[in-house]
Structure 1
């Protein structure tokens, strides 16, 4: 579930944000029951000016104000609609100005003004429409990049129930430096959430590089520590590549959390009673790269996982110690909540940080179902936007995952995207 931008994102749940054309096709907001009524305002203005001119006396005539009609049409109608209103303005001006030959007439100068206004308005409308089409094309490109970096995930993917929120600080950017993904494989299901330092296309490129590495190694490598090592190596290689190109982002790094939900293995035969565990329960493996540790959210409350954070990806040379994998118990009814600093560092008008754990705990206390991934994602989204007043200073991502209690329909070895 992602997000541009103001709600649940691309993982199959509705995101309450502006529609694809709303930002660039302003005239399409003027719809009634699916039919465009963009032509109504300029038509009403044309009639109002003609009627008002009829009631003027003496040398005070306002019929020349009809030049405003094609100008209004240029802002909300299409090119042909604007041209039609330009022609209607000229015709109406001519008829009204000559309707009473014994009265004062505005004459040829105002006729030229109305005609020129119609032509210029039509040209301006053509420029606007071309710009809108270009903006739509760029938005399509951005959407393609977003789907590539943050691919849509099937429901209950890899035996996990999941829900995500992705909000970009720039609502028009559609995608930023935050990233996440879920990769099932023969050794279990792996989850990655991270935040690339900096902004712009360089951050998006780095996120795509890390996600590509995660999707391959997360599937093939049996040990989560090896997946973590591969991510670090890929980040260092990418930094060397960008530095060799002479780019200014050669020192970029990324914070991240890597989770592993090990595949169930059949117990070895031997004496003694077989040990079983509740469906959906079991350990979770966690590696933290300078990131906020996950929160375990259940009907009983909220608890941070007791993990110590290592250095961000790309800064391994500062501490070459081996990657530490934390193996922790997780109850069947607990959801893991992972967020980027866009959530934890969201500020209100007084500069106070968003109290994520407290807000989630209150939501769960009011309704235990708030611990479910889909509801939990909404709690984080609404709480972040409410606390910040809708003004995000950084890309904001939250991912909630919980075991489904079984392998799920997409958890088989052959299911790879």
Structure 2
């Protein structure tokens, strides 16, 4: 069971990790396949497009396909069906002209000026939210090959085993769940709400922005250096990675006494950097302060250190124009929300991983920035604390469960899922520059 299409896409992306860096193009089947494809494209660092197709039904038996058409004049015909049904050439032409008009209407609606991505010689990953009969998927794979794809991979969260066993239109099929009988794709989702045309357009724009950020980051090594930040008479040690001068910076608020060398947060930071985001991994306590365990739960002190770090970023030539977000883990999440509430518009977004947002106390209701709460489904006590905290929040917020994860996200694949959730949240809500107009964020 998948939580929603985004959850299915994240899981599918992890399964397809071997394609990362291979120049693949991810093609979502509108509408429902596009939210799944968006997550797959993010996991692979690949561009996202839609594949728009129309089936050509036999005139007197429309459910029987005698061919299909796609963009750019692409078409495929099933000579066997045409021979058996003896469809006349003029009837075939009439059906194709009618379906071509409908296809062009969809092109105008979904593309809005975007050009069809060139598939010549590339790997095309066809993604839908599930397969019932397989007819649409077969058509999409055939059209992708007609458009020049050298290799076609069909990737879906769920499909009946018997359909996949006869699927010859793709070079490879990747599927997470293969029940023997599938009466409805929706039964495998807790949330199967309809995807709108506007959502499809937004996801395509957001993906293009994500690819542009990553491309800019790879072409500019930027900064990667140790830093020191003064606060409360102590020098805090940190590490700043800035892919490019106008990259947004995510400041990490480590919890339970861990610091900038935390392997879990360094892993998450690497995922953010691949998406073109800057990161500041910071020791919120000095070595001497760490000896007093009470400081780990001194949320006011930790929040003050985060505020000092934000001020330091604003005073440096390389980061003065960068927008800032907070990533908090454990007690660090409470500090991140406290500091975000105090600083208002200076902070663009907050993500909590296995965090204690409840420790922000009265500041919790004053947070106004978009906040994502990520909790392991097996971290029962912290999950309940997050649900109570969410009920007090007045900002745009979401609670995401990583299935099977405990507090430290040590189970295979769970930390990757949390990192992808954090990455997508920051990419969505942090503009490239602090002074950028609000419409510039994806």
Q: Which has the higher contact order (CA 8 A, sep 6+)?
A: 1
Q: TM-score, normalised by structure 1?
A: 0.29
Q: TM-score, normalised by structure 2?
A: 0.28
Where is the strand percentage greater, Structure 1 or Structure 2? Answer: 2
